[in-house]
Amino acid sequence: MKYEFPEGFWWGSAASGPQTEGVFEGDNKGDNIWDHWYREEPEKFFNQVGPEKTSYFYEKYKEDIQLMKETGHTTFRTSIQWSRLIPNGTGEVNQKAVAFYNDVIDELIANDIEPFINLYHFDMPMKLQEKGGWLDRETVDAYVEFAKICFELFGDRVKKWFTHNEPIVPVEGGYLYQFHYPNEVNMKKAVQVAYHEVLSSAKAIKVYHEMNLDGEIGIILNLTPSYPRDESNPEDVKAAQLADAFFNRSFLDPSVKGEFPTDLVDLLKEIDHLPVIEEGDLETIKNNTVDLLGVNYYQPRRIKAKESNEKLADGPMPDDYFDNYIKPDRKMNPYRGWEIYEKGVYDILTNLRENYGNIRCYISENGMGVEGEEDFVNEDGVIEDDYRIEFVEDHLTFMHQAIQEGSNVLGYHMWTCMDNWSWTNAYKNRYGFIAVDIENQGKRTVKKSGHWFKKVSDANGFD
């Protein structure tokens, strides 16, 4: 069967500034929370590889953009590092960063690759984190100013903007489950952080639209569908709905509908965990929804009614309201410990079509991290990552079905273009179409999946 995609479908991949650029002598980049945390606790990072050792994109972007072309990219998303552009988070703009981002954007356009630019990808400038980061209302204002500077500098050429990537992650990682700095466990703080991120997104969207630039602006959310263990058990269904409220609708509803989910608000009210809301905030959120939605999808969430008495913390936690459930016959990515469930992408797109006005969207991340890929090198030195080709093809097949049924999905970006640094996991699992040898000045080699993706992009589909 031939799977053809709509004309002008976006083919490409996604990356981020902090995960690819690296840190170089004289680049004038300021510290963000990752630079700081790595200096404090390098042992927390796989093989003690820190953010200065990321994929050298700062120096190799021209070569990388040629490789994007070679692997069929018509679009590419990255982020502007706040701490590179404005080293202290507020105040002086780093002109070396301006020159770098201008060059990257111009080089992409010159090679017929449309730049998609995201503004916040987990990289809070350390000077702002010292004052509380997203807990502090002033960070919202600093972020909006950062966004405005980006729109002024690059908005003449960049037509696809995103306010945040996976804003639930700084909430979960920093204030619930301890995998991002500042590693706290405090649900009241988590709620305030989430609220400030939502507000900052709406305010940046307002500024963008007031500037009358001829592009569009959205947000990128990791939507992880919550499936109840037993559809016919009301307790399982309710637990799954609450998990969905915490991890999906908390950002999806305000971003697309301009309001917070009532079940989540009611629950937070009940436990006295509502955030501090200032006058006019809710109106700002209501009136400044997204033009476009990016959807990151990796795995499903399987939920059952609360059975265990185990408490994750002294205070309230989302996990007080549900338990995770392991589906007995699930298909796994053993390296990452994640379930592979391709139909999830179809279920997300169907939900967006039926319950969110069929908003214009695209799959902004989807990918498969594998450890020890060097074991799959053939005699020509190419990594034969057939598992990645199969993974992408299977997800595209379900996307295609959603399109046939009327879903407004405009493109597919794999995570990621070239192997990149993945926070505390560093280079443990590789995700790229292009292999990066960090021991060897970041030498690049296109994997089998990269050559395959070029064919798919050129044909706008596959057999």
Q: Is 196 helix (H, G, I), strand (E, B) or coil?
A: helix
The answer to whether the CB of 370 falls within 8 A of the CB of 387 is yes
Position of tokens 């037993």?
A: 230
The answer to whether the CB of 123 falls within 8 A of the CB of 18 is yes
What angle separates helix 137-154 from helix 187-210, to the nearest 10 degrees?
30
Q: Is 1 helix (H, G, I), strand (E, B) or coil?
A: coil
Say if residue 362's pLDDT is above 90.
yes
- Domain ranges, ordered by start, for the chain: 3-462
**Average of per-residue pLDDT across 62-81:** 98
The answer to whether the CB of 417 falls within 8 A of the CB of 353 is no
Structure tokens that stand for 85 in this block: 């552009």
Q: What is the pLDDT of residue 438?
A: 83
- From 21, 166, 342, 365, active-site residue: 365
Say if residue 349's pLDDT is above 90.
yes
Beta-strand relationship, 332-333 and 338-339: antiparallel
Residues in the chain: 463
Dihedrals phi, psi of 239, to nearest 5 degrees: -60, -45
Say if residue 439's pLDDT is above 90.
no
Round to whole Å and give the CA distance between 148 and 141. 11
- Summarize pLDDT for 395-422 with one digit per residue, the tens: 999 999 999 999 999 999 999 999 999 9
Q: What is the pLDDT of residue 375?
A: 84
Q: What is the pLDDT of residue 442?
A: 84
Q: What is the pLDDT of residue 159?
A: 98
Round to whole Å and give the CA distance between 262 and 253. 10
- Summarize pLDDT for 8-60 with one digit per residue, the tens: 999 999 999 999 999 999 999 999 999 999 999 999 999 999 998 899 999 99
User: What secondary structure, in 3-state letters, does 150-182 show?
Assistant: HHHHHCCCCCEEEEEECCHHHHHHHHCCCCCCC
pLDDT band for 337, please (50, 70, 90 cuts).
confident
Round to whole Å and give the CA distance between 101 and 106. 8
The answer to whether the CB of 21 falls within 8 A of the CB of 51 is no
Dihedrals phi, psi of 131, to nearest 5 degrees: -95, 0
Say if residue 317's pLDDT is above 90.
yes
- Please give the mean pLDDT across all residues of the chain: 96
Q: What is the pLDDT of residue 193?
A: 98
Say if residue 392's pLDDT is above 90.
yes
Q: How many helices (H) and strands (E) does the chain have?
A: 16, 19
Q: What is the pLDDT of residue 310?
A: 83
Structure tokens that stand for 73 in this block: 């990219």
Say if residue 189's pLDDT is above 90.
yes
Provide the H-helix boundaries in 71-186. 82-85, 95-110, 126-129, 137-154, 168-175
**Average of per-residue pLDDT across 105-124:** 98
Q: What is the pLDDT of residue 10?
A: 98
pLDDT band for 88, please (50, 70, 90 cuts).
very high
- Summarize pLDDT for 235-289 with one digit per residue, the tens: 999 999 999 999 999 999 999 999 999 999 999 999 999 999 999 999 999 999 9
The pTM is what?
0.97
Round to whole Å and give the CA distance between 451 and 439. 24
**Percentage of residues of the chain with pLDDT beyond 70:** 100
Question: Homologous superfamily of 3-462 in CATH?
Answer: Glycosidases (3.20.20.80)
Q: For residue 227, what are the β-bridge partners?
A: 302
pLDDT band for 179, please (50, 70, 90 cuts).
very high
For residues 135, 141, 142 and 146, what is the CA-based torsion angle, rounded to 10 degrees? Answer: 130
Say if residue 160's pLDDT is above 90.
yes
Beta-strand relationship, 3-4 and 461-462: antiparallel
Identify whether 270 is a catalytic site residue: no
Q: Is 377 helix (H, G, I), strand (E, B) or coil?
A: strand
Say if residue 127's pLDDT is above 90.
yes
pLDDT band for 312, please (50, 70, 90 cuts).
confident
**Average of per-residue pLDDT across 125-144:** 98
Who contacts 90 (Cβ-Cβ below 8 Å, separation ≥6)? Answer: 127, 128, 142, 145
